[in-house]
Amino acid sequence: MARPREFDEQDVVARATELFWRRGYTATGVRELGAELELKQSSLYRAFHDKRGLFLRALDHYRATESSQAEELLERPGPVREVLRDWLTCMVGEETGRGCLVVNTATELGAADPDVRRRTEAAFEVTRKALESLLRRGCRTGELPAGLDLDAAVDLLFTTVLGLRVRERAGHHPERLAATIDYAIRMLAAP
């Protein structure tokens, strides 16, 4: 008969998410996970099978918490450009040097692992759809040009936010990032 778990699995996943977010997948060793999470390796393997299994759960946890908060910011009422500026600023202004776990993972692991890629692409798609919805609202209300190429604008903003997240993680000066945000928003008004 298996012994009951002596730890809160959700708490372990949340703490592992923080560690993977700070250090990345490759730089985070199993021993380090065990020490940080106060788990024996045998408990870690029993609960999550391996480091990769825990990492996939951490990505799912991140998407359910951090990514959903970003989506909510894009869906809030208010002038479209203000919503967009607030969202972009929030994406690079919270905890300098951390970036975004999904973006960090995509740059670290690329498309090498199909399960990781599915998760990063799913998170990216949520962002793209939320951006499209916001821009469509702006076109409908007249805040943005009616003839705005939505696909191109979404791609531009999505690529901009990914670049901003990487630059933020690399320690680029916040004023430069803010100037980039302002310029990207001004470009939306171009005919």
Phi-psi region of 147 (alpha: psi -120 to 50; beta: other; left: phi over 0): alpha
Q: Is the dihedral of CA 184, 95, 105, 55 positive or negative?
A: negative
How confident is the model at residue 37, as a pLDDT?
A: 80
Mean pLDDT of all residues in 50-75: 87
For 163, phi and psi rounded to 5 degrees?
-65, -40
The pLDDT tens digits of the residues spanning 6-55 come to: 667 888 889 989 999 989 999 988 888 888 888 777 777 787 888 899 89
Domains along the sequence of the chain with CATH: 60-188 (1.10.357.10)
